[in-house]
Structure 1
Amino acid sequence: MQAVDTLLRRACEKFTDATAITAGSESVSFSALLSRAQDVADELTAQGIGPGDVVGVQGRRSASVIVAVFGVWRAGAIVMLVDDALPQGRRETMLNCGPARATVDCAHGHRVTLRPAPEGVPVADLDDEDYAYVAFTSGSTGKPKAIIGSHTGLSQFLEWQSGEFGIGPHDRFAHLTNLSFDVWFRDALMPLISGATLCIPDQQHLDAAGVREFLQSEEITGFHLVPSLGKVWLSELAQSEPMPAVRLSFFAGEPLDGALVRSWQELFPACQVVNLYGPTETTLAQHSHRVPERPAAGIQQVGPNRPGSRSHILDEHGKPCADGASGEIHIAAEHPSHGYLVDGRLVSPFVEIDVDGQRVVAYPTGDLGRRAADGGLEILGRADDQIKIAGVRIELQEVRSAIQSHPSVRDVFVCAQEDRFTKVIVAVVEGDTGAERELRDYLGERLMSVMVPAAFLFKAELPKLPNGKVDRKVLAEAARYHIEERARRAADASTAGPRGRSVAERLERIWLSVAGGGASLADRESNFFDVGGTSLTIVVLHAEIQREFGVRFPLVRLFEHASFNAQRRFLESMANEPSGRVPGAAAARGRAGRGRVLSARRTRQL
């Protein structure tokens, strides 16, 4: 076994005084990273935390979180990332799975807090030195599934990616992934074990203009992202000057379209686009494809298996498919995860399959695929009710279960539909129309924001088949029509007559255009996310507000002023700003300018 913290320690000892992490004005050297991590480890050990213990690392994307993760591993314990942005109920559900013996609060100086074992929760025996982390995915039972990740599997992936793409001290990687996803480990740690510098934006939510400024001022050479986020960026940066410094873009989590790649290459002309594929259960990506300069039309393949991995495509009878024929993808990884943690015991998600007379242990992904002519793998969709939005794996059954648990809901059908930039979840509810706001608040306390339906369609009774089951075909068609009608209303709103004279009228037109009018704006205290907005489309909202009103302000302001009335008041207050910018914007520009000066100094010193 090779522990991930061993790779980090070696990098810290090798690159000592080089910069490991930058985050706004904070700069952390490799030697300081090791020292600070050891301080966390010593504190955990002093409080009796060690091998077999799960430790919740709580916070937001930051240098502090990376230090804590490294420190937990140095103490021999198991990491559980807990994003502070998640609803409190979901965070408690996560921490009680296992359960976590302690937490490290990264917002308050790595404060360690011991947690008493919750009553009635079986304590798992996790005393295996290869247990590295607990990651969560959406569960079909209505609760998030906890997966025990492997030190060896994660280490091998990090070393493979670093070596395969020549990543080293000459690189500066952007850290854009939040703690909610297991790919955080790839995003944050791969550059560090390579001696590269990890650059963390000083705002939690970056708009397209902020991203451009960040990439340029920090001289970023590579990053990871999901295609839907790339699509949003491109919609706002289409006329931007090319950025030749970026040499690597790793896409994963969603289908990657050739049209997106072509536009991406225009903005980043020296960039190699890489398409990665692999579920959490197999320990990060097991396939990679270097997309050519002239990508094929449509969805890009995910390429061949990386070393130590084999993928098999099986038909409905569990037999291998001929090349070119479609079936379910089963991945046999050399070092997959250790399984699901359920009621204090590990449950294997793997199955035995027969390949040419040999028994092979593999993970049934639920993805449909086929072999391309060159041996690469093409992904064709899902065989079940699982979807991905912004790279987040979502079981529609978990969403349905959460909605069904609300007392006003008699029955519900949940499906996914294509919208402007990505898929959205639509819930067709048999229940009281007037309960939508209450239902959204209820779900917001239990689900990640990306899992809350973007649109609700209420009916007095859901249509049924003769056997008594809901008519899924009719309901899916009703959901599709609802989204299309929403898009038509949005188009009408964006082109309607002369601009309203008031800030409120102009802002409402933008809201309806971007969010699609998922709910009535009669309630001006409506939150943007209550009318169908998402963390992705709020980036578009930000760009369109700035364009409409001729102002500049950080995206984070829209999260701070999330309701319609709050944004209206915010914009009205800006009317008195002679610069057309919110207070503090000049300081932000000054920080960016200083970043460019420091960048230039680094270049001269080299």
Structure 2
Amino acid sequence: MRSPATYAAGSIDVPLRRLIESGLCGTDPMHRAVVQGDAVLTYGELLTKSRELAAKLTSGTGPVLIRKPRGVESLTEMVGCILAERPFLPVPPDSMSDPATLPDTPEGCGYLLTTSGTSGEPKVVVGSRSGLARYLQWQQAELALAPSDVVSNTADPWFDFSFKETLGALVAGATIAVTPAAALTGGTTLLTWLAEHQPTMVCLLPSMLARLVTAMDRADPTTVRSATERLRRLLVSGEPFPQPLLRRWRTHAPYPVVINLYGPTESTVIKLRHVLPAGAEVHTAIVPVGTPIPGTAVELVPVDDLDDAQELCIVSEDLALGYLTPVTGSTRFERDAAGRRRLRTGDLASLAPDGSVVVEGRLDHVVKRRGVKVSLPAIEAAAVAVPAVDAAAAVVQQGGRIVLYCGVSAGADALSLRAIRMALLDTLAPAQLPDKILLVTRLPLDRRAKVDRAALRNGTTGNS
């Protein structure tokens, strides 16, 4: 099944190096490029430092390892690699990666990223230099960022989620405000940081947004107002976005535009978006990811053994170039019937009545039980509609039992548990109900600050 979107041509080709350099050179050299705590890096300083690094890198070949978290140093190194047209490989500081052991990168490689491994063994994705350039051009045309904008940076450079925050801001001459590590796991810390820095665009995982909204529910209205008064856009991506969470957010910040974005690492940052202006309503349990960006089409392919379930496939010439080393049994990169490059995302999706795409979760997040398709994200969306529930995660544990973990405030009692059960009964078919509901004061998080579903599948909750 094809989406109604047409496969339109992408942006006019502008080399990635020229695109980034134009942003740096075209901005007042005294304007703030990056703010990280007390440290400030101006556009003039970033241009000088990155050019000095690029001069050193032009004599070498192969990928450059960037072993630093988000911030001034990693961004300077990334820009230096782009100006030198050397592929870069961002990794966590404790990573054992050695670029000398990597095979040669193909022509056109702009960067390497290691997938999280949540759906199998981690893989090294070969990012396309031209694909990233076209994405950044689209983002600037879509969002029209300006030097007056302040963009949050919540993602580390080894996740392409960060590219829209950092490289996208530099193309526009905007200021990047780097969040402290504690803000990613603590909603109150994030709220305090937002009130202090007052960004105009914030990019968050739904997990982070849930923690932020919970903090807003309990905070002084003055702090909430300070955190959101300059905010023009909230960008959400990385996980299914429950509609009740959107509704809770809008009780505190009704005016900023909310944009739900979608794109696996293999797709080159983002390939679908759903724009929700103030007052726009959502009639699905999970907020749609919308329609493809220019140069992209989507296809919904039937999934065996899951009745009417369909896998989302992305068609685009701007996909990643593939994996750096052969992946046994992998058929994610392929050609469609027309010979165009296609990515099988491993995500289940459907079309909403308006034609927008709704991503229902990973293939392994949808199971068949007693002949009925059960969507774990749909269970979670029903749970977070209960006021007492801050966040929820449903997993399949040993023996095929579905266990729903609900993050609640300390002191939640049997009344909260009963409210959750009633909400699920009102929303889900009997075969879709979880076998067990557990209340926990916090859900375990992985190093991306996403819910650690592997830990929950093993019964590890952090606390309860």
One-letter amino acid matched to 1:245: R
- Within the candidate set 332, 353, 366, 1:349 is matched to 332
1:213 and 2:183 equivalent? Answer: no
1:480 and 2:403 equivalent? Answer: yes
Distance 1:269 1:73, change over 3 A: same
Q: Is the CA contact (8 Å cut-off) linking 1:22 and 1:28 kept in structure 2? A: yes
- 2:68 maps to 59
Q: What is the alpha-carbon distance in structure 2 between the residues aligned to residue 371 and residue 260 of structure 1?
A: 21
- Shift of residue 213, structure 1, vs aligned partner: 2.9
Q: Is the CA contact (8 Å cut-off) linking 1:311 and 1:329 kept in structure 2? A: yes
Q: How is 1:260-339 mapped onto 2 (pairs within 5 angstroms)?
A: 260-292=245-277, 293-297=279-283, 298-316=285-303, 326-339=309-322
- 2:159 maps to 181
Distance 1:489 1:375, change over 3 A: closer
- 1:248 maps to 233
Give ranges in structure 2 of 5+ residues lacking alignment: 1-12, 368-375, 384-389, 417-438, 452-461
1:484-528 Cα offsets, whole Å, 9 max, x none, are 8x9999845999xxxxxxxxxxxxxxxx95258xxxxxxxxxxxx
One-letter amino acid matched to 1:236: A
Q: What is the alpha-carbon distance in structure 2 between the residues aligned to residue 153 and residue 386 of structure 1?
A: 31
Q: Is the CA contact (8 Å cut-off) linking 2:303 and 2:309 kept in structure 1? A: no
Distance 1:65 1:533, change over 3 A: closer
For 1:83, what is the secondary structure of its paired residue?
coil
One-letter amino acid matched to 2:45: A
- Shift of residue 65, structure 1, vs aligned partner: 0.7
- Within the candidate set 371, 379, 395, 2:359 is matched to 379
- 1:514 maps to 441
> What percentage of aligned pairs have identical amino acids?
24
Q: What is the alpha-carbon distance in structure 1 between the residues aligned to residue 124 and residue 393 of structure 2?
A: 25
For 1:365, what is the secondary structure of its paired residue?
strand
One-letter amino acid matched to 1:480: V
Q: Is the CA contact (8 Å cut-off) linking 1:515 and 1:537 kept in structure 2? A: no
One-letter amino acid matched to 1:361: R
1:73-98 Cα offsets, whole Å, 9 max, x none, are 223311111122xxx4xx22xx24xx
Q: What is the alpha-carbon distance in structure 2 between the residues aligned to residue 147 and residue 538 of structure 1?
A: 20
One-letter amino acid matched to 2:55: D
Distance 1:201 1:353, change over 3 A: closer
- Shift of residue 536, structure 1, vs aligned partner: 9.2
Q: How is 1:111-190 mapped onto 2 (pairs within 5 angstroms)?
A: 117=101, 123-128=102-107, 130-139=108-117, 143-190=121-168
For 1:198, what is the secondary structure of its paired residue?
strand
Q: What is the alpha-carbon distance in structure 2 between the residues aligned to residue 222 and residue 384 of structure 1?
A: 33
Q: What is the alpha-carbon distance in structure 2 between the residues aligned to residue 353 and residue 8 of structure 1?
A: 33
For 2:177, what is the secondary structure of its paired residue?
strand
Distance 1:425 1:315, change over 3 A: closer
One-letter amino acid matched to 2:127: G
- 1:233 maps to 212
Distance 1:163 1:487, change over 3 A: closer
For 1:480, what is the secondary structure of its paired residue?
strand
Please tell me whether Structure 1 or Structure 2 has the larger radius of gyration of its CA atoms.
1
Distance 1:43 1:490, change over 3 A: farther
Q: What is the alpha-carbon distance in structure 2 between the residues aligned to residue 312 and residue 426 of structure 1?
A: 28
For 2:203, what is the secondary structure of its paired residue?
strand
**Higher-RCO chain (CA-CA 8 Å, sequence separation at least 6):** 2
Give ranges in structure 1 of 5+ residues lacking alignment: 102-116, 118-122, 388-414, 429-474, 496-511, 517-531, 540-562, 565-606
- Shift of residue 143, structure 1, vs aligned partner: 3.3
- Shift of residue 269, structure 1, vs aligned partner: 3.0
Q: What is the alpha-carbon distance in structure 2 between the residues aligned to residue 375 and residue 154 of structure 1?
A: 27
- Shift of residue 264, structure 1, vs aligned partner: 1.5
- 1:423 maps to 393
- Shift of residue 285, structure 1, vs aligned partner: 1.3
One-letter amino acid matched to 2:47: L
Distance 1:494 1:181, change over 3 A: farther
Q: What is the alpha-carbon distance in structure 2 between the residues aligned to residue 491 and residue 515 of structure 1?
A: 12
Distance 1:166 1:55, change over 3 A: same
- Within the candidate set 340, 349, 353, 2:323 is matched to 340
Q: What is the alpha-carbon distance in structure 1 between the residues aligned to residue 262 and residue 26 of structure 2?
A: 31
- Shift of residue 33, structure 1, vs aligned partner: 0.6
For 2:79, what is the secondary structure of its paired residue?
helix
Query: TM-score w.r.t. structure 1 length?
Result: 0.57
One-letter amino acid matched to 1:39: E
Q: How is 1:444-483 mapped onto 2 (pairs within 5 angstroms)?
A: 475-477=399-401, 480=403
Q: Is the CA contact (8 Å cut-off) linking 1:221 and 1:247 kept in structure 2? A: yes
1:8 and 2:17 equivalent? Answer: no
- How many residue pairs align between the two structures? 389
- Shift of residue 369, structure 1, vs aligned partner: 1.7
Q: What is the aligned-residue RMSD (CA, Å)?
A: 3.6
- Shift of residue 315, structure 1, vs aligned partner: 2.3
